[in-house]
Amino acid sequence: MLLEKYLKSTVSDKIDVIKLGVGAVGPRFELRLWQLEGKKLEADLVVLAFCIGNDFTDEQGNNTPNSIFHSVTESSYVVRLAYNVYRLRGVSRPAEIMISDQTDSNQQGGYETKDYIYDSNQPTFVRPVFLNVVGSRMAITHKANHAQFVTKFANLKPVLSLFRDSVINSNTKFVVMMIPDEYQVYPSLLEEAAHHLKYKANDYNIGLPQIQLGQFFQENNIEYLDLLPSFIQQGKSKTLYRLQNTHWNIEGNQLAATILTEYLTSQYF
């Protein structure tokens, strides 16, 4: 893990970094994971990675908190799994994402990596599907959807506050790291995705999530780190995301680990 490597080389070789992140879940699930498993680790510091692109909507969907879909997805892991499989439609190489090899009794499906060769320039989604994915992630910043953003954020505020309280009451420091979405870093992608959805780039207030989160964190004594300014600056000369994927490539991961290492070193070590 890059963060552990960087901290060991700059602070102490006795530092251990444990990753408890789970894909395709939101802060509610992460809070519960902390309550059930994280507390047992007796960590000195917890860093909650808040993904702008999906953490406002994961576990909320595009529905109100009282909707039937919301209630079912909140209570059923099976429904969540089915929904996430549905989200994989349009993957350009689905065999690399999920494999079920019935010829091997020890292989019951899941993520297959033994023959996988990492290539950040190999697209995960075909272009039109990728633009739809980006468009769905941009939706919370569309000016016409402001009321929806306010509702989703209002639903998250008590979760984030409870997370802070639960961690601090365990004598552990708490920091939120805001992870920018690709459309916030690259204006050309914002313009292309907006055009694909028959909108204009200025129909979106793409800085809204960080502004609102930052204000909330300041008002509620929650320490936070915003990666967006550094990613915008470095993104002018570097590609920081995998091709048609929405996740960081190697350079993006290195940049995030470097920024977080510098922040933690200056604030806590």
Q: Per the domain annotation, does 78 fall within a domain?
A: no
Question: Using an 8 Å Cβ cutoff, are 70 and 63 in contact?
Answer: yes
For the record, the structure tokens of 170 come out as 């365990």
Q: Per the domain annotation, does 34 fall within a domain?
A: yes
Q: Determine the pLDDT at residue 107.
A: 42
Angle at 155 between CA 151 and CA 156, to 5 degrees: 120
Domain containing 130 equals 2-68+123-268
Number of Cβ within a 10 Å radius of residue 18:
10
Inter-helix orientation angle 2-10/250-268, to 10°: 40
Q: Determine the pLDDT at residue 194.
A: 98
Q: What is the CATH number of the domain that holds 129?
A: 3.40.50.1110
Question: Using an 8 Å Cβ cutoff, are 179 and 49 in contact?
Answer: yes
Q: Per the domain annotation, does 129 fall within a domain?
A: yes
Q: Per the domain annotation, does 95 fall within a domain?
A: no
Q: Determine the pLDDT at residue 84.
A: 56
Q: Per the domain annotation, does 163 fall within a domain?
A: yes
Does the CA dihedral 189-191-195-200 come out positive or negative? Answer: positive
Question: Using an 8 Å Cβ cutoff, are 112 and 132 in contact?
Answer: no
Q: Determine the pLDDT at residue 119.
A: 86
Instruction: Please report, in tens digits, the pLDDT of each residue of the chain (269 residues total).
Output: 899 999 999 999 999 999 998 887 899 999 999 999 999 999 999 999 999 999 999 877 554 444 455 555 555 555 655 655 555 555 555 544 443 344 444 444 445 556 667 888 899 999 999 999 999 999 999 999 999 999 999 999 999 999 999 999 999 999 999 999 999 999 999 999 999 999 999 999 999 999 999 999 999 999 999 999 999 999 999 999 999 999 999 999 999 999 999 999 999 98
Q: Per the domain annotation, does 90 fall within a domain?
A: no
Q: Per the domain annotation, does 257 fall within a domain?
A: yes
Q: Determine the pLDDT at residue 1.
A: 85
Q: Per the domain annotation, does 77 fall within a domain?
A: no
Q: Determine the pLDDT at residue 89.
A: 57
Domain count, the chain: 1
Q: Determine the pLDDT at residue 61.
A: 59
Q: Select from 30, 48, 32 the least CA-distant residue to 179.
A: 48
**pTM to 2 decimals?**
0.82
